[in-house]
Amino acid sequence: MSLRGRHLLSIEDLDVQEIELILKTARSFKEISTRPIRKVPTLRGKTVINIFFEPSTRTRSSFELAAKRLSADAVNFNVSTSSVAKGESLIDTGRNLQAMHPDLIVVRHSLAGAPALLATHCKGSCVINAGDGMHEHPTQALLDALTICEHKGRLEGLKVAIIGDIKHSRVARSNALLLRKMKAETWVCGPPTLLPVGFESYGVQVTHHMEEALTDADVIMLLRAQRERQQEIFYPSFKEYSMLYGLDRRKMKWAKPDAIVMHPGPINRGIEIDQEMADGAYSVILEQVSNGVATRMAVLFLLLGASEDPGI
């Protein structure tokens, strides 16, 4: 089994064995980030370009750190000071960057399908989707899977409740696809206006009632109310949204006593999650961020296939 030379555009690109390989490789890379010298020579001589057309704190930093910790050369392409500001198209931007022979391009874009378009036009480089519109965010689902496995030892048979703005969430889509492949029982829950008709086709159970979603849940994944993608009013007020769908101590009692609370970030504190749930004993939110570096190291390593031996 090899991911060498492939693109990672969607969780659909991966089978169960490949997901397990990424998680196993990520586990082996975690320790590097705790060493006094956080660097191994594994990807020396490889070049990674990060192109983020949308804001990012976690994904962009962790891809850059992942590349640097593996000794790859990481270039952060600054969209606002690039010729994109003069109207250069995505395809022309990609083809010009491609002419500089990067081994891998990481791209985030507000339009679903932009990374796939780049992959079609940039022959010779691997492309990773770091989030495209409302479509997918595959490395987020992989780092979430790693975090769940660390706490629960498995994915199969777990009840995972994904709560909030499902409609606009690429994280929800990638997680639903991954969790279905790994045989978890996934529930999605949110106001009817933020839950697209037909979402059952992702292999999930759909409810608008928090109690039903959270009862006996092993994992609770909150999603941000994505105000930048909401052109209409989807709920009467944040106060009402928070009362019905915000996670707090009262609603947490429906879940299993050892349930974990996750959030991909950034958090709207006081809306989808209160302070106590975001920072308290149930929360593994910052572990997700740490696992983001290891997971992206694993993906870079496996796609660039420097050697079967990571040299760590």
Q: Which is nearer to ligand CP, 106 or 210 (CB)?
A: 106
User: In angstroms, rounded to a whole number, what is the distance separating the alpha carbons of residues 7 and 60?
Assistant: 18
Amino acid at 206: V
CA distances from 244 to 70, 188, 233, 257, 268 (A): 44, 14, 16, 21, 15
Q: Which residue reads 């106060």 in tokens?
A: 239
Nearest to 68 by CA among 96, 97, 94, 37: 37
Catalytic: which of 25, 42, 59, 139? 59
124-143: contacts with ligand CP (CB under 6 A): 131, 137, 140
58 is catalytic: yes
Site track 213-242 with ligand CP (rule: CB under 6 A), x = hit: ------------------------------
Please name the residues in contact with 91: beta carbons below 8 A apart, sequence gap of 6 or more.
117, 118, 121
- State the number of binding residues for ligand CP (CB under 6 A): 10
Closer residue to ligand CP in complex, CB, 206/284:
284
In the complex, the smallest distance separating the C-beta of residue 176 from ligand CP, rounded to whole angstroms, is 16
Min separation Cβ 208 and ligand CP, Å: 25
Least distance (Å) between residue 143 CB and ligand CP: 9
Least distance (Å) from ligand CP to the CB of residue 59? 3
209-221 as b/e: b if 16+ CB within 10 A: ebeebbeebbbbb
Token pair in block for residue 191: 């106001």
Dig out the tokens for 19 from the structure: 């997901």
Q: How far is the CB of 157 from ligand CP (least distance, A)?
A: 26
Residues 5, 16, 57, 269: which binds ligand CP (CB under 6 A)?
A: 57
Helix then strand count (H, E) for the chain reads 11, 9
For ligand CP, give the closer residue by CB, 57 or 307.
57
Residue 236 tokens, joined: 């009467």
Q: 137 catalytic, yes or no?
A: yes
251-290 footprint of ligand CP as x/- string (CB under 6 A) = -------------xxx------------------------
Minimal distance, residue 294 CB to ligand CP, in Å: 15
- CA-wise closest residue to 24 among 307, 312, 295: 295
**Closest CB to ligand CP among 7 and 137?**
137
- For 69, residues 6+ apart whose C-beta sits below 8 A from its C-beta are 29, 32, 33, 38, 39, 40, 293, 297
Helix H or strand E segment including 50: strand 47-52
Task: Reply yes or no on whether 229 is catalytic.
Answer: no
The yes or no reply on residue 115 touching ligand CP (CB under 6 A) is no
User: Which one of 6, 58, 151, 208 is the catalytic residue?
Assistant: 58
- Catalytic (active site) residue 215: no
Active site residue 250: no
Catalytic residue among 46, 60, 69, 137: 137
Q: Which residues are catalytic?
A: 58-59, 86, 108, 137
Give the binding site for ligand CP (CB under 6 A). 56-59, 131, 137, 140, 264-266
